[in-house]
Amino acid sequence: MSENILPAEFFEALGAPRPEVAFDVFDAYRFKLCFNQLGPGSVLDVGSYLGDFLKLIQRDGRKFHGTEINQVRVDLVNSIFGEGTAVLDFRNGHLDSFETGSIDNVVCMETIEHVIDDKYAISELCRVARSKVIITVPFREKLQTVLCTHCFQYTPLYGHRHRYDYGSFKALIPPGWTITMEKDFVRPAARVVHPLLNWMKSAYWILKGLDAISPGSGHWILVVLERKRKRDGGLTSPGTTPMIDGQE
């Protein structure tokens, strides 16, 4: 087995989502920031988790799809939105269920940092996207390892395998794409007032204002990729991405 491939048993063992807090003001802020970057058309949420971002898309009247990495999580999303909304996909960064250029906007939040071959995973997001890819990942995270009591090997804490900073994605995006936004968010001032914000309707604007004036680094970074335009104003054609390790 390639060192870039995690076995199916790994994803099954993750089971259902087990969030300490099912929905948090920082999640709502992150979802709104990503939502505001969407272009027209359909949306794919890679790593739909509890379906909260898809609820925003549904209320906007768009066509939408989701993915999760095991059947328990797929079934949870489909129990909310209907059978066929989410599919089992994106294990090891593969998007096998979606044709090239089949979705207008592909969104991937808090997922890329878990994939061993993050460059390949991003190329798959771009392959499927017709126009935009919107990504959030932890920003300037200090990576740590812990001793696994099952395999007795040191493994990444929280499954986070990569550290991202401004400019990190420049080496990861495929030809025909460009970075149109990189912005870190949830800076220290926002984290200080976090306990006060959960029930405030104006939390989004407070957080946005604090991020604008607060020194220090954000907790996450938002990265927006767009397909390059040809000289006639049209988008470059979606290309094909070679599969790794002979998988099809």
- What's the pLDDT score for residue 245? 31
Q: Domain map of the chain by residue range?
A: 8-23+37-187+218-227
> What pLDDT is recorded for position 248?
28
| Predicted local confidence at residue 201, as pLDDT | 83
pLDDT of residue 182: 98
CA dist., res. 35 & res. 202, Å (int):
17
CATH number of 8-23+37-187+218-227: 3.40.50.150
- Phi/psi for 180 (5° steps) reads -105, -10
Q: What's the confidence (pLDDT) of residue 229?
A: 77
CA dist., res. 123 & res. 23, Å (int):
30
Rounded CA-CA distance 93/69 in Å is 10
pLDDT in tens, 41-58: 999 999 999 999 999 999
pLDDT at 20: 60
Q: What is the mean pLDDT of each run of 10 residues along the chain (248 residues)?
A: 72 80 86 98 97 97 97 96 97 96 98 94 98 97 68 63 94 97 97 88 94 95 92 58 32
Ramachandran angles phi, psi of 86, nearest 5°: -110, 150
DSSP 133-199: EEEEEESS----EEE-TTT-SEEEGGG------TTGGGGTSPTTEEEEEEEEES-HHHHHTHHHHTT
In the prediction, which pLDDT does 22 show? 66
Supply the pTM of this predicted model.
0.87
Quick: pLDDT tens for 61-89.
999 999 999 999 999 999 999 999 999 99
pLDDT at 244: 29
For 211-245, b/e burial (b = at least 16 CB within 10 A) is beebeeebbbbbbbbbbeeeeeeeeeebeebeeee
Angstrom distance (rounded) from CA 120 to CA 123: 5
Apex 45 CA angle, 42 and 49, nearest 5: 150
